Structure 1
Amino acid sequence: MRENHSQEEKLSFSTQLAYGVADFGPSMAGNILVIFFLFFLTTVAGLPANLAGIILLLSNCWSAISTLLVGILSDRTTCAWGRRRIWMLASAPILGFSFFLLWWIPPNQDWLKFGYYLAIALLFQTAASAFVVPYGALITDLSDDHNDHLRLNSMRFGFSLAGCIGSLLLSQLIAHWIYNPRQQLFELGLICAAFTVVSIVSSCWKINEHPHTPKSTSSYNWQGIKTILCNQPLLMLVGIYALSWLAVQITPAILPYFVINCLKLNSAVVTQVVLLMQTTALVSLFIWEPLSKQLGKKKVFALGSIIWIVAEIGLFYLQPGEQFTMYSLAMVAGVGMSTTYFIPASMLPEVIDWDELTTGERREGLFYSILMFIYQITFAIGLFFVGQWLDWSGFQAAIPGPIKLVQPHSALVAIRQAIVILPTTALIISLILTYFYPINSRVHQYTIVKLKKRRLATSTSS
């Protein structure tokens, strides 16, 4: 039987801290990957934009598939260390090593480079799935309490944003000492890989996960799939999570093209803009978390999304050289973006409890993997679309050198459209889904009470 944590039994601060630390290093690596990898492939490694887009599409599609496999397997894992931490520990060295290899440039032709980067990207995404799915599902093994979920996710994404900010500060420091972009990213990849391994291992060492036999014993046949498809809160949350995180990830991926080509600013401004955005998001967490307890998660998420959309619209009208306006809009976007970091993830435990009350099954790993699966597919399609859109618009890939390429007007229009239209559309649809999402704090409290009565009755009868 699953160990029950009463609402009165609050998690210690050390447990919250240890849980959050695990996301510090992976967020450093993930942030660098999102911001620089597409740009690295097309501008440093010299791959055509369409081939770079295919690499991102295939690797992220595989990541989506692997998250489902890891979710099912981690629910069924039995280990003295607990069913989640053993996956996190095993993933750490592979995740760090494969991330480092992504920034090495083989001395080969385009198709050989394509094969190399695709293979390493697939390995990296496999290891990432083995970490992120058990890590996300671990939260429901630590507590049943609604406010604990908010605190744990706030701590997690606080460390996540701190890792993102740290990676950008580190990139600025390396750029100050090393001029060559190729060497800069190689050194940055090595350091972020080391932080990834250390943060995951140290977190697993400190978290006291309660070992138990997994309750989920379903065979995932058609009947099991049918119960998932009938889970309306889950389906709506999948859409909210996937679309809002698509906006979070796609914006910094397109930002280097927008800043350098459309605004005619120095490449160092890219890091500064993302740094401002993520620092503002981190500070805003301390405002949004208590506000979400007063207003509810749905209202806070809607308010943050609207603020972010306003900032995105402002980006569309920026003209070359408007650097300080760009900084201001980045800060406004960061305030809104902050809600995406922790609100959708905090809604998942509510869906898991609702599903247990309805079906009698406890499927944390599977549900988190479904969220990640749809998100990865959405993100892969988004990145593929950006790569193909740039290629169709006539964007010219180039290796850095003394000769600066001037992009055609069609490419500049495509970049401006991509950085505004895609994130804004995703946020608007996620807002619509949030409005119809059926679970609030009152419904969740009722669900917890009913579950506790059922568990007590089951414990007494056995």
Structure 2
Amino acid sequence: MEAAPGGSPAPAVEAPAPQPEAQTLEPRSVSAKRGEDRRAGRLSFCTKVCYGIGGVPNQVASSAMAFYLQLFLLDVAQIPAAQVSLVLFGGRVSGAAADPVAGFFISRSRRTGSGQLMPWVLGCMPFTALAYFFLWYLPPFTNLRGLWYMTFYCLFQALSTFFQVPYTALTMLLTPSPRERDSATAYRMTMEMAGTLLGAAAHGLIVSGAHGPHSCEDAEFPGPGAVSPHATCLYSVAAAAVAVTYPVCGGLLCLGVKERPDPSAPASSQGMSFLAGLGLTIRHPPYLKLVISFLFISAAVQVEQSYLVLFCTHASQLHDHVQSLVLTILVSAVLSTPLWEWVLQRFGKRMSAFGICVMVPFVILLAAVPTAPVAYVVAFVSGVSIALSLLLPWSMLPDMVDDFQLQHQHGPGIETIFYSSYVFFTKLSGAGALGISTLSLEFAGYEAGACKQAEQVVVTLKVLIGAVPTCMILTGLCILMVGPGPKVPSQDSSHQLSLRRRTSYSLAAS
């Protein structure tokens, strides 16, 4: 070592000797470290399943409401269509408004022994279950029923938002690996599809005796009649069955899933404020494009689900096929979700988005030819497309977060803001779509509780089931395909992101 600076040629010959050794040792240590990171980032099958089960209750409840709430409010509670429009619009707006509020309070909350997100998830579940039950309860008074359902629908939407925002954002804290996050998202979507199937099936089977041609045949006149006590009892039983899923699935989520915060982030890290982070996210072009496109696509799916039962009941001779058609949609959605996950990995997420428009010609065909064979084909294809429309945005959101972090290295990760703002905008679009479409039934002359509706109502339902979703889906896909997509980080880049990431749940509020 002392002879090296001397300038003799001997050390010059000996100097390169240790250099190859250093070059060979360093890649080995780096590769070993990367192997450990990959193993540490892998999620067990049990963790993925328990994580997916946590999202089941909200999907069970949302599925029952999507297919049967309008029918319950119009024909069982017998609220005028204009009031139903206000109930649906007000509830969705309250849920949308709760998203940024949830993100703000979650960002200010402190980490506990069970994590920072899990207390929010578990704490909201019992209150959400109660709000859901009273949403389907028929109060003894008649004059203020609209206010009753508005109150509990708003409560349910707000409480379910305070559950859903931390639950979906938990994806970013399960593992730093993008592939494992996509896998966990696929598990979650599969379990949520199963929950959607369970909710519509259980609720539909229980309340099937409350609707049907026999109720009109037994009526003395085809107009609005008295509320059946049997129907109200069936809806209360169905609501109780759905509400029970909240504590059961919440317990499994708590037992099987643990948060994994970034170990490099100090407990008291000070990041950007919530409002500042929100301003940055909505100016991020890939994220903005994703949000705008799925404003239309998600609204189309909600309109399609909400008016299918009403269409079959009042605009076609498919009364006896309602339950079977709903189950066909949901079964095809559940079975196609793993297939779509493979398609996303094989062909890319943007190219796979074209699968959503498969349902377009079929819904138009159903509106034109409302027969049973056509209806079942449309139900199957619609389920396949709906599965992709639900899986795709949640699979693309982690890529948006990583792309944002690659471009904004000065601040911490802001996963909560990404997830909460996305849900906020999609709920807001659904509120507008359902509110306006239900109000159109009022203008068409819909009579609450009537067995036969006017011809204008039938035409309106055909437009709502065919033309409206078609225009929305095509518009959303055109927006999604414009411009380049986000850069998906490699495994090495994702490791660097995990070292640099400061979780959004420790953001300091302004």
Question: TM-score, normalising length from structure 1?
Answer: 0.90
- Does the 8 A contact of 2:277 with 2:414 survive in 1? no
**Amino acid in the other structure paired with 2:121:** M
Q: List alignment gaps of at least 5 residues for structure 2.
A: 1-33, 212-229, 503-510
Structure 2 distance, partners of 1:323, 1:457, is: 56
- CA RMSD in angstroms, aligned pairs only: 2.3
Q: 1:283 aligns with which of 335, 355, 359?
A: 335
Structure 2 distance, partners of 1:178, 1:52, is: 19
**Amino acid in the other structure paired with 1:289:** E
Structure 2 distance, partners of 1:214, 1:178, is: 56
**Does residue 376 in structure 1 map to residue 427 in structure 2?**
yes
Structure 1 distance, partners of 2:130, 2:251, is: 15
Q: More displaced, 358-367 or 408-417?
A: 358-367
Distance 1:101 1:216, change over 3 A: farther
Describe the SS at the equivalent of 1:115: helix
Aligned to 1:188: 238
Q: Whose radius of gyration is greater, 1 or 2?
A: 2
Shift of 1:217: 2.6
Describe the SS at the equivalent of 1:444: coil
**Does residue 120 in structure 1 map to residue 159 in structure 2?**
no
Shift of 1:437: 5.5
Q: Within 5 A, what are the aligned runs for 1:45-444?
A: 45-78=77-110, 79-110=112-143, 112-175=144-207, 180-210=230-260, 213=267, 217-221=271-275, 224-266=277-319, 268-302=320-354, 304-319=355-370, 322-359=371-408, 360-398=411-449, 405-436=451-482, 438-439=484-485, 443-444=487-488
- Does the 8 A contact of 1:76 with 1:217 survive in 2? no
Distance 1:196 1:274, change over 3 A: same
Q: List alignment gaps of at least 5 residues for structure 1.
A: 399-403
**In the comparison of the two structures, how many residue pairs are matched?**
442
Shift of 1:224: 4.2
Q: Residues 180-229 of structure 1: CA distance to partner in whole angstroms, max 9, x if unpaired?
A: 332222111000000122112321222111357486732245x5454233
Structure 2 distance, partners of 1:81, 1:160, is: 24
Shift of 1:299: 1.1
Distance 1:347 1:7, change over 3 A: farther
Q: Residues 306-351 of structure 1: CA distance to partner in whole angstroms, max 9, x if unpaired?
A: 21212222222123xx112201111011122221121111100111
- Does the 8 A contact of 2:205 with 2:323 survive in 1? no
Describe the SS at the equivalent of 1:106: coil
Q: Percent identical across equivalent pairs?
A: 23
- Does the 8 A contact of 1:87 with 1:131 survive in 2? yes
Q: Once superposed, which parts of structure 1, at least 4 consecutive aligned residues long, lie more than 6 Å away?
A: 176-179
- Does the 8 A contact of 1:263 with 1:318 survive in 2? no
Aligned to 2:224: none
- Does the 8 A contact of 1:88 with 1:204 survive in 2? no
Shift of 1:39: 1.4
Q: More displaced, 280-289 or 224-233?
A: 224-233
Q: Residues 109-138 of structure 1: CA distance to partner in whole angstroms, max 9, x if unpaired?
A: 33x111111111121112101110001100
- Does the 8 A contact of 1:233 with 1:351 survive in 2? yes
- Does the 8 A contact of 2:173 with 2:261 survive in 1? no
Structure 1 distance, partners of 2:337, 2:362, is: 18
**Amino acid in the other structure paired with 1:20:** G
- Does the 8 A contact of 1:241 with 1:371 survive in 2? no
Describe the SS at the equivalent of 1:293: helix
Distance 1:451 1:422, change over 3 A: same
Structure 1 distance, partners of 2:233, 2:301, is: 27
Shift of 1:364: 0.8
Describe the SS at the equivalent of 2:238: helix
- Does the 8 A contact of 2:82 with 2:442 survive in 1? yes
**Amino acid in the other structure paired with 1:367:** F
Aligned to 1:401: none
